[in-house]
Amino acid sequence: MFDLLITDARLTDGREGQDIAVLGDRIAEVGAGLAARGAQARERIDAAGQLVSPPFVDAHFHMDATLSWGLPRVNRSGTLLEGIALWGELKPTLTADAIIERAMAYCDWAVARGLLAVRTHVDTCDPRLLAVEALLEVRRKVAPWLDLQLVAFPQDGILRYDPARDKPGCTDSAFDLLKKALDLGVDVVGGIPHFERTMDSGRESVRLLAEEAARRGLRVDMHCDETDDPLSRHIETLTHETQRLGLQGRVNGSHLTSMHSMDNYYVSKLIPLMAEAQVSATANPLINITIQGRHDTYPKRRGMTRVPELLAGGVEVAFGHDCVMDPWYSLGSADMLEVAHMGLHVAQMTGEAAMRQCFAAVTEAPARILGLEGYGVAPGCFADFVLLQARDPIEAIRLRAARLVVVRRGRVVATAPRQASTLALDGRPASVDFMIRRPG
Ligand code: FE2
């Protein structure tokens, strides 16, 4: 007797008519005809030929700032620098309770969207480490339904920020604060080399932070080269440090937008170096397309990193949400299909295989970058998956498909009704669901 049996599912690899049997918190069996051969289960869900995907994973987010839109004021210019300034205005007024309440509300949205793992950066440039304490509490609270991975993120730069500015007499350096956050249990080492005062201090910050990660055996995920400046090449240093310190497979460069504007010859050397060092990349399409190119008139650069070229060069690439209703971005609703949809358009990844890669960029690829255990719809994996109102990954992106059922560790944690519009047109169908149906 199984605990849960999903019947007649399509999987992301194209297999049809699959039944998924769950025992406890794990997938016990996947295959055609389990139900027909008499498999019994306490609970049964008919997927009716729709797609069952492993859950969405967000490789790059800022949960300490999310849902703070309009506090203390909105970002009038919509630029990155006004966003950073606005966050600086908001930070002194934050309370742990308010951060926890907003983050918990966001995690509710995430679960409803089938987004069950999030890597979030948490600002460590605060002598109180308020957001760090708050998000550690959130990580504990949401653990039964969502994997939250925390990155120690020095928003104002480990060499540029002086904690005594915010707390007179404070003797900690920004680097000390980041190390304290790691001591408290933050999972990953972050950084922001392009925000340090000079290229040299940016490079120095990468070296210091990578060495700290190597000492502690931690993963690294830096905001790297989030600029349109083609000479911002901190990804080169991050790749070199990864190789030098033996951190292969544990380092991610987030944003890498300068790569959009770099010299082609230089990029032809850089991408193979990244692949050799197994450095992954996370683009944030919704944010990159709205924040980059702001100093351009026309032509106006898209600014997103070179996703198809990185993939072709053997680099793992994820798409992150980055922001939802915060000082940098006023929109969003925890929908990783919206992220994939934008990434697909900005990168012009409209070929069939490329569209499937965009779906993988919000599921399998970030799962590997986060190092998630037991991820996937296969025997032995955790029973975490999403039944989508779509027949394949491409249709899921096209429709930003409804998450009909979300399962976490074998338990249904969210459901949503099918999406359809009722029509009142003479001689036409009574409803539409935006899917093509061809006879035969
Ligand atoms: Fe970010």
Following DSSP, what letter does each residue of 156-181 receive, concatenated?
T-TTT--GGGTSTT----HHHHHHHH
Strands 421-422 and 431-432: antiparallel
- Look at the alpha carbons of 210, 213, 219, 224 in this order and tell me if their dihedral is positive or negative: negative
Give me ligand 1 centre to Cα 121, in Å.
7
Give me ligand 1 centre to Cα 408, in Å.
27
Give me ligand 1 centre to Cα 85, in Å.
15
pLDDT of residue 440: 66
What CA–CA distance (Å, rounded) separates 82 from 328?
8
* CA angle centred on 94, ends 99 and 253, rounded to 5°: 65
Give me ligand 1 centre to Cα 328, in Å.
9
Q: Are 232 and 201 in contact (CB under 8 A)?
A: no
Alpha helices in 146-284 (DSSP H): 174-184, 199-216, 234-245, 258-261, 264-276
Give me ligand 1 centre to Cα 62, in Å.
6
Q: Are 51 and 266 in contact (CB under 8 A)?
A: no
What CA–CA distance (Å, rounded) separates 416 from 268?
46
Neighbours of ion ligand 1 (CB under 5 A): 322
Give me ligand 1 centre to Cα 240, in Å.
22
Which domains are seen in the chain, by residue range?
2-54+376-422 (2.30.40.10), 56-370 (3.20.20.140)
Crossing angle of helices 336-346 and 352-360, in 10° steps, is 140
Give me ligand 1 centre to Cα 255, in Å.
8
What CA–CA distance (Å, rounded) separates 332 from 405?
21
Give me ligand 1 centre to Cα 223, in Å.
6
Nearest to residue 221, comparing CAs of 151, 273, 275?
A: 151
Question: Which amino acid is present at 219?
Answer: R
What CA–CA distance (Å, rounded) separates 258 from 265?
14
Give me ligand 1 centre to Cα 214, in Å.
22
Give me ligand 1 centre to Cα 224, in Å.
10
| Active-site pick, 196, 212, 226, 364 | 226
Give me ligand 1 centre to Cα 252, in Å.
12
Tokens 């009716």 appear where?
A: 48
Cβ count near 411 (within 10 Å): 16
How far are the Cα atoms of 92, 367, 381 from residue 373, in angstroms, in the given order? Answer: 37, 8, 8
Give me ligand 1 centre to Cα 26, in Å.
33
* CA angle centred on 155, ends 151 and 160, rounded to 5°: 125
Task: Extract the residue ranges of the chain whose pLDDT is less than 50.
Answer: none
pLDDT of residue 78: 83
What CA–CA distance (Å, rounded) separates 101 from 204?
37
226 is catalytic: yes
- 52 strand-pairing partners: 11, 387
